[in-house]
Amino acid sequence: MRVAIIGLGRMGAGIARRLMRAGHEIVAFDVAKEAVAALAEHGAIAATSLEDAATKFEGQKVFWVMLPAGEITETTIAQLADLAAPGDILIDGGNSFYKDDIRRAKVLAEKDIAYVDVGTSGGVWGFDRGFSMMVGGPAEAVAVIDPILESLAPGMGAIERTAGRGDDADPRPEKGYLHAGPAGAGHFVKMVHNGIEYGMMAAFAEGFDILKAKASDKLPEDERFDLNLPDIAETWRRGSVVASWLLDLTADALARDHALDQFSGNVADSGEGRWTVEAAMEEAVPAYVLSAALFARYRSRMETTFGDKVLSAMRYGFGGHVEPK
Amino acid sequence: MRVAIIGLGRMGAGIARRLMRAGHEIVAFDVAKEAVAALAEHGAIAATSLEDAATKFEGQKVFWVMLPAGEITETTIAQLADLAAPGDILIDGGNSFYKDDIRRAKVLAEKDIAYVDVGTSGGVWGFDRGFSMMVGGPAEAVAVIDPILESLAPGMGAIERTAGRGDDADPRPEKGYLHAGPAGAGHFVKMVHNGIEYGMMAAFAEGFDILKAKASDKLPEDERFDLNLPDIAETWRRGSVVASWLLDLTADALARDHALDQFSGNVADSGEGRWTVEAAMEEAVPAYVLSAALFARYRSRMETTFGDKVLSAMRYGFGGHVEPK
Amino acid sequence: MRVAIIGLGRMGAGIARRLMRAGHEIVAFDVAKEAVAALAEHGAIAATSLEDAATKFEGQKVFWVMLPAGEITETTIAQLADLAAPGDILIDGGNSFYKDDIRRAKVLAEKDIAYVDVGTSGGVWGFDRGFSMMVGGPAEAVAVIDPILESLAPGMGAIERTAGRGDDADPRPEKGYLHAGPAGAGHFVKMVHNGIEYGMMAAFAEGFDILKAKASDKLPEDERFDLNLPDIAETWRRGSVVASWLLDLTADALARDHALDQFSGNVADSGEGRWTVEAAMEEAVPAYVLSAALFARYRSRMETTFGDKVLSAMRYGFGGHVEPK
Amino acid sequence: MRVAIIGLGRMGAGIARRLMRAGHEIVAFDVAKEAVAALAEHGAIAATSLEDAATKFEGQKVFWVMLPAGEITETTIAQLADLAAPGDILIDGGNSFYKDDIRRAKVLAEKDIAYVDVGTSGGVWGFDRGFSMMVGGPAEAVAVIDPILESLAPGMGAIERTAGRGDDADPRPEKGYLHAGPAGAGHFVKMVHNGIEYGMMAAFAEGFDILKAKASDKLPEDERFDLNLPDIAETWRRGSVVASWLLDLTADALARDHALDQFSGNVADSGEGRWTVEAAMEEAVPAYVLSAALFARYRSRMETTFGDKVLSAMRYGFGGHVEPK
């Protein structure tokens, strides 16, 4: 089927190319003309503007917006809404906040335009491995774009079936995509996915910290171990309970540089981690681990905190403790 | 090669059977005679006592103790030490605290008996999938038992090689086992493995809690989603960043019973989680996530805490707040 | 001076009475006529409606709204805005979210009406001890209501002066109130105050939990202590580092009932704790302790969590662990 | 009464001087002769060795050991045990681990020597304000040293009585000291006191961090506040729920230097914080806040962590994210 991809960054371009490889027709638009040209060489129909992209359809138009969450996505969707006719489908495949989806879907529904949000996981590996997708929106619209979703998804691959899964279950999750519910549900599930991801990553980070520090000369000499972290990560990949894709990536990074010296340790965070904690608070659900994982990222980017100085000041106040600068 | 397995519970029996299947000779002992008899039917050499087990060897004796950590392991190792001759090898494959290994190894080294600790992950799946093993002890002794370890380990299987891993790297980790260092290092690495496992599990637990509670009628009606948790877990298994064995298990459990009603949610914890936090404290390394994961298990087993009542009492004190019983 | 108090609940009535005792004239309004009548007996000028309250002023009108945060406060402020003339002052003394203050102040400023937000701490003790107040709004308006604020505040009392505080410092904080900044700043500071309060309370709660559980028969007999919690709290009140009003309240509660059996331990939380964590996330500042304190309150109100069952299910999956119902 | 003070550092000298001021006779010993000489000028009986100190008593000897916890305290107590006769009293007023107390008390009891542990809070302020003391040991021995304890304690002072405290309650806690239970109970209660102290301090630290960062130019301009932290701390000292000695100290420090620039923010931690978390783990009691407070101190002393680099490496692995050095 034909779909217009709006935004041809790493993710957008990967999606477009994977779809073309599967036989779909791509209308390609980006403000960067080189990005459009590059895709056109792969067979995409180049568009010079959103308006131009809209002209490339006869009948039902399907737009897949793949832009950074925030202002630019908001504006683009508003512009596309003006170009769309009743029955058209507008997909936000970026990392939007799910409440923005709910709001947009309501507005668009008044014009009979279907809004679909697709939370996409898979990063730079998606083109090869396929994209894991969590989709929100009206069932009819999701059915229309199912061929696209199936082509983008990883498929069953070599991963074993879940023994307990009945034959009457929805077949899509086994292929790596999900119709999660109405508009917003896709990004909500993707958001929690990322929250969990933060927590899992932090569990590995703390664990490897503990392994690494076991060689510290602050410990009694007969309790020190100089552990081989690349070998540990490699071992755990097979048969251990913590086997996971994140561990595979860690093993790879450690194998290349066991000290990870090329990395600064100034860890960025995106909206999803924060929104997950907000969602937990709205639901009054404890999120000790997911919040701690988020805070560790904040802390990683600070040399010291004012709060630490408040602690020092109190200790000086009650105990006369002077701490080393 | 020949090895005596002392302790034929689920893990011990699984190990014995996997070794026999690979052609090794097993001397089997357990205080439960039925367990010994059951293994003898599979071809094991039955022993009626530790002393008897010792007589089943000519030359170098190798004992693999597979008992619950604590008193019984301690006593058994002491008894075997008396039965052992210089050059023999004593393996603790249970979940001992690594400082106990360090202590025991020193004592046994004086008698020229090699002490090897094997931290074993793999649970009930080990017989089929192989056991992930982290080994501590003298290199010579570990070399002697290498045929056993290789037979027990999962092997490379279908899991892809780590791209960045050089050809000069130790081949054992790729097969799923590791010589981590001197005595104690095996159990130390296994301990941190379990600490990480607690953290990963807690990340999933919190995440699924947030997904589940999204249907709560305490939320505004247009922000509620009634999400299909089995489908979500299934989707994430393919191509998402949180793909992992723990997710596979969760997907299986949810597929069988999406409400998990058969489980009480009174979550036990073993020594490893606690020891990991202790190790972090000894090293002065932050362990926010791993400790929170541990505390959540404590809390899961309590209906209310005295601390909660202290909070209620303070709130009553300063604000006159009376809380519902 | 004359001020209309809108909302005569526990806090509003206490404020009105403390102001009258200091010689101020109170216009009293509440939808509950008895509440108005009760205050009229103490000398307040009864008002039968917001409109009526507005007629009780000649020249500059000052309204102090003391209602539950949310819808009712929002509506009342909108209604008062219609009754107010340029130069009038509208005070929100409730627990509003500071971003609502910023928004309201902007709207009212267009009509030349001054909006002042007063975060008030002191609870049921305020009438006797005075109210701690954190104020946001234009300096001129805050200067106008200074006589009210000074009368409500605790004053210096018996509390020693801070040694390091210079004589050129603002004298108001020493009396227990603060002009924190523009509109919203008052409630923001009050919000963080409550966040800290949650953290301090949780520190005490966990500490007393650890003291209490030291009598547990799960501990080795020679490591058990049956501690007298009321005596411990009492001792700490004098000369220890944790001496605080919250400890005073705890000591009082424990003295009355050392088991705190009258309390359920289902601990409520209000918006401030949650907003504090949100503010931390907006600023990318770690808030491990304040968030953990908040989550413990959520957890206190649950018997079990779905997340706990997810943990049980995973443990069953990899280890065959069946947990007690 | 007469008591030998062994160890004349800041705490030991303060205790000795406060006792002499109250009319007690002090035998003073320290390896630093100047420290002994300084106290002798205030009227203490100088001792040149532990043996010499022992000769300064007729009848029942009372030793108060005030040395850093660990090796030196252990050795000194062993030496004093050799010098002591049945009926003598040996006090450890330092910061020993309570399990060491339990062990020592058992050994000394065999010689009929009473061992008393005194957990002491009060720091550099103790000489003036009095020391808060938590005492463990046999009731008879504690009764013997009661005059010393009463002289050291702050007494009731200006602090109001706890309303709910009955007249039949032990009068000692109201004076600021406590017989907590058998040997070890004193240090255990003091240990938890310090754990709570860590938690309270962290609550303030996080709160002031959030207040400080509210001026950040990363926030939307109309949501920024440039708050006066010294004034905020000062305000909260009177009538607010967070009023406490720790807040008094913070207010003083901020009044002197609102940026706290003289402090490094490399926050030390002593054994008590760690032991409190260990105790919680032994009791299976959640300690989210107390552990987080401890970990923040560890983190304050690190520029970056290896764990942070593990996070960066994973992010690079799945998303190609390159983070700023």
CA distance B105 to B88: 13
Kindly state the percentage of chain C with pLDDT values over 70.
Answer: 99
Interface contact flag, A313 D202, Cβ < 8 Å: no
Q: What is the side-by-side strand order in the sheet with C62-65? A: C45-46, C25-29, C2-6, C62-65, C89-92, C114-121, C132-136, C177-181
Q: Is the pLDDT of residue B323 over 80?
A: no
CB D178 within 8 Å of CB D134: yes
pLDDT score recorded for residue B126 = 84
Name the pTM for this structure.
0.96
Facing residue for C305 by CB, picked from B209, B252, B310: B209
- Residue at C276: amino acid letter: T
CA distance B281 to B278: 5
For chain C, give the mean pLDDT: 95
Tell me the pLDDT band of A2, cut-offs 50, 70 and 90: very high
Catalytic residue numbers of C, as ranges: 190, 197
CA distance A307 to D249: 14
CA distance D191 to D197: 10
CA distance C30 to B137: 78
Catalytic residue from among A190, A218, A272, A278: A190
CA distance A79 to B54: 83
Interface contact flag, C281 A286, Cβ < 8 Å: no
Q: Is the pLDDT of residue C142 over 70?
A: yes
User: What are the pLDDT digits (tens) for C152-169?
Assistant: 999 998 899 999 898 899
Q: Is the pLDDT of residue C261 over 90?
A: yes
Tell me the pLDDT band of C13, cut-offs 50, 70 and 90: very high
pLDDT score recorded for residue D121 = 87
Neighbours of chain A (3+ CB pairs under 8 A): B, C, D
Tell me the pLDDT band of B237, cut-offs 50, 70 and 90: very high
- Residue at A235: amino acid letter: T
User: What are the pLDDT digits (tens) for B60-79?
Assistant: 999 999 999 889 999 999 99
Nearest one of B133, B134, B123 to B270, comparing CA atoms: B123
pLDDT score recorded for residue C325 = 64
User: What are the pLDDT digits (tens) for C186-222?
Assistant: 999 999 999 999 999 999 999 999 999 999 999 999 9
CA distance D225 to C105: 15
The set of residues, in sequence order, having a beta carbon less than 8 Å from that of D190 and lying 6+ positions away, is D95, D119, D120, D121, D134, D272
Nearest C-alpha in A relative to C272: A281
Q: Is the pLDDT of residue A193 over 80?
A: yes
For chain A, give the mean pLDDT: 95
pLDDT score recorded for residue B204 = 98
Structure tokens at C183: 């509109």
Tell me the pLDDT band of C125, cut-offs 50, 70 and 90: confident
Tell me the shortest Cα–Cα distance from D134 to chain C, in angstroms.
8
Interface test with C, best of D289, D297, D298 (most C CBs within 10 A): D289
For chain B, give the mean pLDDT: 95
Count Cβ atoms below 10 Å from residue A140 Cβ, excluding itself. 10
Tell me the pLDDT band of A85, cut-offs 50, 70 and 90: very high
Tell me the pLDDT band of A180, cut-offs 50, 70 and 90: very high
Tell me the pLDDT band of B320, cut-offs 50, 70 and 90: confident
Tell me the shortest Cα–Cα distance from D285 to chain B, in angstroms.
6
User: What are the pLDDT digits (tens) for A7-27?
Assistant: 999 899 999 999 999 999 999
What's the CA angle centered on A267, arms A296 and A228, to 5 degrees?
85
User: What are the pLDDT digits (tens) for B21-48?
Assistant: 999 999 999 999 999 999 999 999 999 9
pLDDT score recorded for residue A182 = 98
Local confidence pLDDT in tens for the 325 residues of chain D: 999 999 999 899 999 999 999 999 999 999 999 999 999 999 999 999 999 999 999 999 999 999 998 899 999 999 999 999 999 999 999 999 999 999 999 999 999 999 999 999 877 788 888 999 999 999 999 999 999 999 999 999 889 999 989 889 999 999 999 999 999 999 999 999 999 999 999 999 999 999 999 999 999 999 999 999 999 999 999 989 999 999 999 999 999 999 999 999 999 998 999 999 999 999 999 999 999 999 999 999 999 999 999 999 999 998 887 776 6
pLDDT score recorded for residue B325 = 64
Is A111 tagged catalytic? no
CB B98 within 8 Å of CB B125: no
H or E, element range at C95: none
Interface contact flag, A201 D313, Cβ < 8 Å: no
pLDDT score recorded for residue B324 = 67
Rounded to an integer, the average pLDDT of A240-262 is 96
pLDDT score recorded for residue A123 = 72
CB C217 within 8 Å of CB C312: no
pLDDT score recorded for residue A325 = 64
Interface contact flag, C317 B249, Cβ < 8 Å: yes
β-pairing verdict for B132-136 and B114-121: antiparallel
Catalytic residue from among D197, D234, D272, D309: D197
Interface contact flag, A292 B289, Cβ < 8 Å: yes
Interface contact flag, C199 D195, Cβ < 8 Å: no
Nearest C-alpha in B relative to A273: B207
| Half-sphere CA count of D143, side-chain side, radius 13 A | 4
Interface contact flag, C188 D225, Cβ < 8 Å: yes
Q: Is the pLDDT of residue B285 over 80?
A: yes
Facing residue for D268 by CB, picked from A300, A323, A325: A323
Structure tokens at A142: 């999701």
Tell me the pLDDT band of C2, cut-offs 50, 70 and 90: very high
Q: What is the DSSP letter of B221?
A: G
CA distance C289 to C301: 19
Catalytic residue from among B61, B175, B190, B272: B190
CA distance D214 to D26: 54
User: What are the pLDDT digits (tens) for C15-69?
Assistant: 999 999 999 999 999 999 999 999 999 999 999 999 999 999 999 999 999 999 8
